[in-house]
Amino acid sequence: MKHKIYIVGMGPGKEEMMTGEAVYALEQADIIVGYTTYLHLLGEHFREKELRATPMRQEEKRCRICFEEAEKGKTVALLCSGDAGIYGMASLMLEIGREYPQTELLVIAGVTAASSGAAVLGAPLGHDFCTVSLSDLLTPWETIEKRLRAAAEGDFVIVLYNPSSHKRKEYLKRACDILLSHVEGDRVCGYVENIGRAGTRAELCTLTELRDRQVNMFTTVFIGNSESEVIGGRFVTKRGYRWEE
Ligand code: SAH
CATH code (residue 196)? 3.30.950.10
CATH of the domain at 45: 3.40.1010.10
Write out residues in the chain with pLDDT < 50, as ranges: none
Which pLDDT value is given to residue 171?
95
Q: Clarify whether residues 74 and 135 are in a common domain.
A: no
| Single pTM value for the model | 0.96
Q: Containing domain of residue 89, as a range?
A: 3-108
Decide which of 51, 74, 108 is a domain's last residue: 108
Same domain? 216 vs 159: yes
Q: How far apart are CA 137 and CA 192, in angstroms?
A: 23
Are 101 and 36 members of one domain? yes
Strands (E), 43-195: 50-53, 76-80, 103-108, 122-123, 129-133, 157-161, 188-193
Whether residues 62 and 101 share a domain: the answer is yes
Closest CA to 195 of 215, 212, 214: 215
Distance CA 114, CA 121 (A): 11
**CA 236 – CA 21 distance, rounded (Å):** 30
- The pLDDT, as a whole number, for residue 182 is 96
Query: pLDDT tens digits, residue range 64-74?
Result: 999 999 999 99
Domain-located, residue 147:
yes
The predicted pLDDT at position 74 comes to: 97
For the chain, counts of helices (H) and of strands (E)? 8, 13
Q: Are 120 and 220 part of one and the same domain? A: yes
* Centre of ligand 1 from the C-alpha of residue 21, in Å: 20
Span from the CA of 77 to the centroid of ligand 1 (angstroms): 19
Is residue 242 assigned to a domain?
A: no
Whose alpha carbon is nearest atom 9 of ligand 1? Answer: 162
In a shared domain, residues 184 and 151: yes
153 and 104: one domain? no
- Give the per-residue pLDDT at 55: 77
Helices (H), 29-153: 36-41, 59-71, 90-97, 113-121, 141-153
pLDDT reported for residue 100:
96
Claim to verify: residue 120 and residue 233 sit in the same structural domain? yes
Mutational test site, ligand 1, from 15, 133, 164, 219, max ligand atoms within 8 Å of CB: 219
Last residue of a domain, one of 59, 75, 108: 108
Count of structural domains, the chain: 2
Q: Are residues 119 and 183 in the same domain?
A: yes
Instruction: Report CA 75 to chain centroid distance, whole Å.
Output: 25
Beta bridge partners of 4: 104
To test the pocket of ligand 1, the residue of 218, 221, 222 to mutate (highest count of ligand atoms within 8 Å of its CB) is: 218
In the β-sheet with 129-133, what is the strand arrangement from edge to edge?
129-133, 157-161, 219-223, 188-193, 201-206
Q: Which residues contact 46 (CB under 8 A, 6 or more apart)?
A: 26, 27, 32
What confidence tens digit (pLDDT) does each residue in 151-196 have? 999 999 999 999 998 888 899 999 999 999 999 999 999 999 999 9
Domain boundary among 79, 108, 137: 108
Closest CA to 107 of 116, 118, 115, 97: 97
- Residues 162, 227: one domain? yes
